Amino acid sequence: MSERPKFFEQVNRHFDRAAALLDLPRGILSQIKECNAVYHVSFPLRRDDGEVEVIHGWRAHHSQHRLPVKGGMRLTKHASEDEVTALAALMTYKCALVDIPFGGAKGAIRIEKDDYSERELERIIRRYTYELVRRNCIGPGVDVPGPDMGVGAQEIAWMSDTYLSLSQGEVSAQGAVTGKPLSQGGVRGRVEATGRGVYFGLREAVSRKADMEPLGLSAGLDGKRVVIQGFGNVGYHAAKFMAEDGAVIVGILEREGAAYRADGFSADEVYRHREEGGSLLDLDADEKIEGGKEGAHGLTWDCDILIPAALESVIRKDNAPDIQAKILGEGANGPTTADADEILRERGVLVIPDMFLNAGGVTVSYFEWIKNLSNIRFGRMEQRFEAMANHRILRAVEELTGQSFNDGIFEKLAVGADEEDLVNSGLEETMVSGYEQMREMSILHDTDLRRAGMAVAIGKVARAYQERGIFP
């Protein structure tokens, strides 16, 4: 397998291709491309056995054209300055493309999560958060971390609690971190948001007959065969929502190996099985591969849609020629190297880029941040009012027509939207309109979606700088 290319360089290669479509001065393009700041912290951890170990962490602020900056936190043994910088840049373009008013950031702590006890993890996360507070690198108007690989509601709750304990009565302090548990100011729908967004994005991509015909596919998700790499937060939820809309999850790839079944897996059953300590390799399947190096196993299996939802740079020039999928839906950040992207384009594979497809997470994080700033649950003011208004409309129709509706109709229609309905509707609107903007640009310039989406994003960031009078 070829060596991992520098990740930030890969993102910048995409940037340069897209910038060539735009008539923007070189100065503004250079400003957008650079990373504004990267913080590297190191601190000692006393392990449960008394040994002391030095822990390294990073936080990158790629673009502060809008504040706060926003981006996930990950715990991985591969964490590096290059990785957080590249991921922070992707966040800038992602937020701009789907109209989330944040700059891009990303953070990471270099640890293999499974090697630490829960108490050790808590100490690591709290100390990292404290280091960010000391540098004014976290806060609802400064930088708002969220979940990413290896970081779920528990780690976010530790970050939020540490920030709250140091914030001295700041009224919107809960908005310093997103992805919190509901009881700590989280929002309904955040956990599954990225996977649900992947589903909305792919549903849009396959919805037009004219776009599917060149791939030899019919329009719609029904019956589409899907292979997913990474069955964590993003992969599992994407699989679940895709299957609920008729797609067949034929292949699942995880650390321990990969399993393929032509008649499809139940996402929920596989997820439960693994949660209980089971492996993909003991599932009933047509084909299995034991875990190989860096998740390459199974990526070339026959399918209509391949969704990498684990690591970056897993599709490279050595395996890109063998990818059989007709559509590549990038659930993970940066799963495809620039060389591999070129090969896939030449081969006519439709690539739905990460900067659009996994934007559901930051979209719902934005909703959570708004909720924390306004200190009120979405729907609290309107839900009952809407339900009563709908009830009155149904009664008026009954009076006008002389016909009575049954209780079932009232139960279905005389309701108001609750927080989850509003969040999911806002997410769907964001993904549909983001896809539309990217597709229109791709038609205008007769180019691929990645280049088009990046061009839309760069144009918006440039406008933000120009409107502030920084550049002509």
- The whole-angstrom separation of Cα 259 and Cα 247 is 17
Min. distance of Cβ 28 from ligand NAD in angstroms? 27
Would you say 230 or 379 has its CB closer to ligand NAD? 230
Min. distance of Cβ 154 from ligand NAD in angstroms? 12
Residues 6+ apart with CB under 8 A from 345: 351, 448
- The whole-angstrom separation of Cα 279 and Cα 407 is 47
Tokens of 467: 């409107």
Min. distance of Cβ 103 from ligand NAD in angstroms? 16
Q: Rounded to 5 degrees, what angle do the CA atoms 261, 263, 268 make? A: 80
Site string for ligand NAD, 259-298 (x = CB under 6 A): -----------------------------------xx---
Torsion over CA: 335, 339, 341, 344 (sign): negative
| 224 labelled catalytic | no
Would you say 318 or 382 has its CB closer to ligand NAD? 318
- The whole-angstrom separation of Cα 273 and Cα 361 is 25
Q: Are 56 and 78 in contact (CB under 8 A)?
A: no
Q: CA torsion angle for 112, 116, 119, 121 (degrees, to 10)?
A: -10
Q: In terms of Cα–Cα distance, which of 266, 259, 238 is closest to 332?
A: 238
Q: Is the peptide bond before 321 cis (omega within 30 degrees of 0)?
A: no
- Verify binding: residue 107, ligand NAD, rule CB under 6 A: no
**Which residue lies nearest ligand NAD, judged by its C-beta?**
232
Residues 6+ apart with CB under 8 A from 190: 178, 179, 361, 364, 365, 368, 423
Would you say 331 or 453 has its CB closer to ligand NAD? 331
Q: Which stretch binds ligand NAD (CB under 6 A): 32-40, 142-150, 155-163, 434-442?
A: 142-150
Min. distance of Cβ 149 from ligand NAD in angstroms? 4
Would you say 116 or 231 has its CB closer to ligand NAD? 231
Task: Kindly determine how many residues on this chain lie close enough to bind ligand NAD according to the rule CB under 6 A.
Answer: 26
Site for ligand NAD in 43-82 (CB under 6 A): 72
Would you say 76 or 372 has its CB closer to ligand NAD? 76
Single out the residue of 129, 233, 336, 424 in contact with ligand NAD (rule: CB under 6 A). Answer: 233
Query: What phi, psi does 91 have (nearest 5°)?
Result: -65, -40
Q: Which stretch binds ligand NAD (CB under 6 A): 41-49, 147-155, 211-219, 220-228?
A: 147-155
- Verify binding: residue 363, ligand NAD, rule CB under 6 A: no
- Verify binding: residue 311, ligand NAD, rule CB under 6 A: yes
> Which is catalytic among the residues 33, 70, 94, 106?
106
Site for ligand NAD in 330-349 (CB under 6 A): 331-333
Q: Rounded to 5 degrees, what angle do the CA atoms 432, 68, 454 make? A: 40
Tokens of 131: 């280091």
Site for ligand NAD in 169-208 (CB under 6 A): 194
Which residues in this chain contact ligand NAD in the complex, by CB under 6 A?
72, 147-150, 194, 229-235, 253-255, 294-295, 309-311, 331-333, 358, 361
Query: What are the residue numbers of the active site?
Result: 106
